[in-house]
Amino acid sequence: MELRHLRYFIAVAEKENMTRAAAQLHVSQPPLSRQIRALEDELGVALFNHGAKAVRLTEAGKVFLAEARAVVERANEAVHLVKAVAGGKRGEIHVGYVSALSTEILPRALRLFQEANPYVRVQLHDMSMQEVLQGLSEEKLNVALVEQVPRKLMTGLTFEELHRDPVCLAAHPAHPLAHVRKVGLEQVARERLIGFAAANYPDYRDWLAGLFAPLKLAPQFAEEYASATSAMAAVEAGRGVALVTRSFIRWAGPRLKVRPLTPAPPALIFGIAYRKGVNSPAVKNFIAAAKRSDSA
C-alpha cells in the first residue's frame, strides 16, 4: 500500500464516481479501477458498493476513509515541515552567550530573529567563556555571543565583531570610588579586585596584565568567580570592585555604581562565534540578525 493508493481511494470516495475521480487525478479510468481493486484485495475487505452510475462506501470504507485522510494529511504536514526546516523557517537552534552580552546584543538579536523566524525555537544557554568554546566545538551550541578571545582558542570557529564596549569600574554605591567622576587605573590597583576564574575565562588574566602593564602595577585580587552574576554579587556585598563594560549599567541598575576609567582602556570587542562551514539556514538567519542588532 502506497500513499497514491490512499489518494486514489479518497478521490473516488469523495466523487462517488470512477470517471470524475479519474479526471480529478489526471489518470485514465481503467488504471484507477485496478488500483482500487488492488487496495481492496490487500485489505481483504470491500470498500465500495458499485452501482450502475455511482460507487458508495461500505461501512468498512467509511471507517477507512477517515483513517486514509489522516494519513495523507500527516504526510503532507511532514513534507511542509521538512521544507520549512530546510528553508530555515522551522526548527530549533542553541545559542550560547556570556552574561556581559545579555543586556545589549542578545535581546536585540533575539527580537530581530524571532520577528523574521517566528517558528524557529531558540534555546538560550548562559555560560562562561570556556563553556561556550567547548559547546561550540562539541556541536552542543550552534552559535554564541561572546567576547573576542585569542585565535589559538578559536580552532575550527569563526568570530565576527558586532560591538565594542568601553571598560568601566563597578563598585558598591557606598564605596569612595563610586562618587569619583573618572577613575584612574592606579586607583583601581589599590583596591580589592573581584575577578573571574581563569578556568572559565581563559584570557582574563592576560587581559588584566596588559591593562596594568603601562603603570607597572599589578591588581590586588581579592576573590575570583566562575560567573559574572556571582562576581557582581560580591561587588554588591562590598567585598571589592570589578572591571566591567559600560553596558553593564543596564544590568546593575541602582545596586551598583559604574564609573568610567581614565585614561580610557581599549574597548572590549564582542561578537558572534560559530563553527566554520555552517550550513543551517536557521543558524545563518540568526547570524544575520545578530549583525543587524548593533544598529537596531
Give the contacts of 35 (CB within 8 A, at least 6 positions apart): 4, 5, 8
- Residue 143 carries which side chain, given as an amino acid letter? V
Do both 282 and 196 map to the same domain?
Answer: no
| One domain for residues 185 and 64 | no
Instruction: Tell me the percentage of the chain whose pLDDT exceeds 90.
Output: 53
C-alpha 138/C-alpha 141 separation (Å) is 8
Same domain (yes/no): 143, 189: no
Return the C-alpha cell found at 287. Answer: 547570524
What is the length of the chain? 296
Each residue's pLDDT tens digit, 88-122:
667 889 999 987 666 678 889 999 999 988 889 99
Q: Kindly state whether residues 193 and 279 are assigned to the same domain.
A: no
Same domain as 254, residue 214: yes
Which of 61, 86, 111 is the endpoint of a domain?
A: 86
Number of domains the chain is built from: 3
What integer best gives the mean pLDDT of the chain?
A: 88
The CATH number for 104's domain is: 3.40.190.10
Q: Which residue segment(s) compose the domain that 149 sits in? A: 92-162+270-293
Asked if the model's pLDDT at residue 162 lies above 60, the reply is: yes
Distance (Å, whole) CA 137 – CA 146: 14
Nearest one of 193, 192, 256, 197 to 227, comparing CA atoms: 197
Residue type at 67 in one-letter notation? E
| Claim to verify: residue 215 and residue 244 sit in the same structural domain | yes
**Do 155 and 274 belong to one domain?**
yes
Whether the Cβ atoms of residue 144 and residue 135 lie closer than 8 Å to each other: yes
The answer to whether residues 255 and 274 belong to one domain is: no
Q: Are residues 101 and 136 in the same domain?
A: yes
263 upstream amide cis, omega within 30 of 0: yes
- Residue 61: CATH number of its domain: 1.10.10.10
Q: Which one of 29, 62, 86 terminates a domain?
A: 86
Average pLDDT over residues 178-193: 93
Report the pLDDT value the prediction gives residue 280, as an integer from 0 to 100. Answer: 86
Residue 67 has pLDDT above 90, yes or no: yes
Greatest distance between any 2 Cα atoms in the chain: 104
Please tell me whether the overall predicted TM-score, pTM, comes out greater than 0.85 for this model: no
Which SS3 state, helix, strand or coil, does residue 160 take?
A: strand
**265 DSSP assignment:** P
Distance of CA 72 to the CA centre of its chain: 32
Which H or E element spans position 184? Answer: strand 183-184
Same domain, 190 and 157: no
